[in-house]
Structure 1
């Protein structure tokens, strides 16, 4: 199935990194490769099934590389591709903005109920 052309760059970017979990997984992969168990501990609140799904989608989109060491017990690492690193760098200003306004956002959410 072929997807129609994107209307703008933001639409294309959100298609790749959209959703609650992908940016957080991406952020935790920024320092370097991580094993699946590490990611499961770092990305708090995500189910194992959802983490697997998100990693598969990110690998299919070319932002994450999966390396299976074919060992017993199983050892699999995930790392950002160069494409993924460029996306991570693009998200850094958004992270900075969130950190700068975190208190205001939390207060607004608390007031809203």
Structure 2
């Protein structure tokens, strides 16, 4: 792919396929067609990086049809699927932690441990 094309806005198929790729897989958070309104449109390089991440995660769970752990036992599985999706994106979970007066104190307490993982 030529270097000049990676800085252009991501252009994919039209219609429903376009929306699936942009919003579900590449995780775009604004309308990509209104470049006058939104300054932060998804660049081609960023879109390809997101698609590569998705593609690397598809084979992680052999019985699933995608990279997401979808709920198979009802709505109780939704929090687990959300936590898995967050972990794929690099989030850190605090399990078995009670409320400690606010989130800032919790993050300050574990900041050094979190930085050691990065």
Calculate the TM-score normalised by the size of structure 1: 0.29
The structure with higher relative contact order (CA 8 Å, sep 6+) is 1
Calculate the TM-score normalised by the size of structure 2: 0.28
Q: Over alpha carbons, which structure has the higher Rg?
A: 2
Which has the larger share of helix? Answer: 1
Which has the larger share of strand? Answer: 1
